[in-house]
Amino acid sequence: MLNSIIEKIEASNKSLVLSHQNPDGDTLGSMLALGALLKIKGHVVDFVCTDPLPEIYKFLPFSNYVVLPEDKSLQKNHELAFSLDCGSLKRLGKAKELWLNTPCTINIDHHISNEKFGKINWIEADATSTGQLVYWLAKNLNIKVTKEVAMLLYTTLLTDTGCFANSNTNSDALSWGAELIKLGAEHETIYRKTFLERPLKSIQVFAKALGNLTLVENNEIGWTYITKEEMKKHLATGEDTEDIADYIMRVRGVKVGVFFREEENETKVSLRSLIDFDVSNIAASMGGGGHKRAAGINVKSALVETKDKVLKKVIEEYRDYNGQK
C-alpha cells in the first residue's frame, strides 16, 4: 500500500490534502505535515477543511494555508486527494465534492472503523496517530523532517495520546516522541497551546457541563451534556467543549463516559472507555466511529431523544459486557 502511494506522489504534481470536519490535532497536524512534505516534492498543494480552523491550532506551522472548500483560490484539476484521519466520506463534510472530483483518492488513517472510501486506503490501526503514518511516508520518500513538520507530527502524537495518558501510549509512542523532539518539536509550546490555554467561555461551558454530570450503573458510567441554549449564552463553539468527555473519566470509579453536545439540528456524542469495553462498536452501530476507547457520533435528533437512545444502548452493552444478561 505504501509503495502505491509513493508511486502516485512521484508521478504527480498537484495535490489536495483534507482534514475531517470539527478538526482535532491529529487530522490537522497530519494534513499540514503531509502538505508540507508534498511541497518539498514539488507539488502544488491545497489545504482544505470543511470547518474553520479552531483557535487552539492556529499556532501550528502552515495553518494559514488552510481554506474552506468553497474558497476561490483553490486550484483546478487536482491529480491526488489525500484524506487524513477521516473515518468516512461523510466526515469530509462539504469537502466531499472536491474528493469525488479528484481522479486518485488516498485515504490515510489509523481508525479500525475506517470505511475505506478511497481508491487507495492505507489504514494502520496499530499506529499511535495518523501523523505517525505521515512520518513513515516521509521516511520512505527520503524526505528530511524539518522542525515545522516535527512540530506538526508531535501535535498529532500529543493530542491522540491525551498527552501520553491514553491506552495507546506505549514504548513506540514515547520513542517516536523523543525522535520528534530531537528533530525540533517543542513539547512545552505544543502542550501549553493544545491542553492548557483556554478562553473564558470554554471554562464557563466546562463548568456547566460538570454541574450536569450524572453517574449510573453503580457509578461506573458517567454522562453529562450541554444544551444549545448554554452554548449560545456563552458564545461557545464545539472547540470549547473538547475536553469535557475526557474529564468525565477523572471521576474515581467511572469506567465509561458519555458527553452530549446539542446543536441546532443534531446532537454530537462523545464516548470514552477506560477498560476493554469497545465504544467504537456502539458508535458504528449509530453511524459514528472512532477508537475502541474513544469514539463519536453525530445524531440528527434533539438532545432529549438522543440522550435516551444512546444511554440505553451504552447501558445495555455495558451490562452485556459484565455478563448481566
Is residue 48's pLDDT more than 90? yes
Q: Over the stretch 60-97, which tens digit does the pLDDT of each residue have?
A: 999 999 999 999 999 999 999 999 999 999 999 999 99
Sheet holding 80-84, edge to edge: 66-67, 44-48, 14-18, 80-84, 104-109, 120-123
The answer on pLDDT for 295 being more than 60 is yes
d(CA 115, CA 107): 10
Q: What is the mean pLDDT of residues 107-112?
A: 93
Q: What percentage of the chain carries pLDDT values higher than 90?
A: 88
Average pLDDT, the chain: 95
pLDDT band at 113 (very low <50, low <70, confident <90, very high): confident
Q: Do strands 267-273 and 294-299 pair parallel, antiparallel, or not at all (unpaired)?
A: antiparallel
Residues 128-150 have pLDDT tens digits of 999 999 999 999 999 999 999 99
Torsion angle of C-alpha atoms 317, 320, 324, 325, degrees rounded to 10: 110
231-272 pLDDT, tens digit per residue, is 999 999 988 998 899 999 999 999 999 999 999 999 999 999
Strands 294-299 and 289-290: antiparallel
> pLDDT (tens digit, 9 = 90+) per residue, 162-219?
899 887 899 999 999 999 999 999 999 999 999 989 899 999 999 999 999 999 999 9
Q: Report all structural domains of the chain as residue ranges with CATH numbers, in order of start.
A: 2-196 (3.90.1640.10), 200-321 (3.10.310.30)
pLDDT given at position 325: 53
pTM: 0.83
**How much of the chain, in percent, has pLDDT values that exceed 70?**
99
Other beta carbons within 10 angstroms of residue 126's beta carbon come to: 10
The C-alpha cell at 299 is: 445524531
**CA nearest to 30, candidates 144, 171, 128:** 128
Instruction: Compute the distance between CA of residue 19 and CA of residue 93 in angstroms, rounded to an integer.
Output: 10
The helix/strand/coil state of 82 is strand
Residue 289, pLDDT score:
83
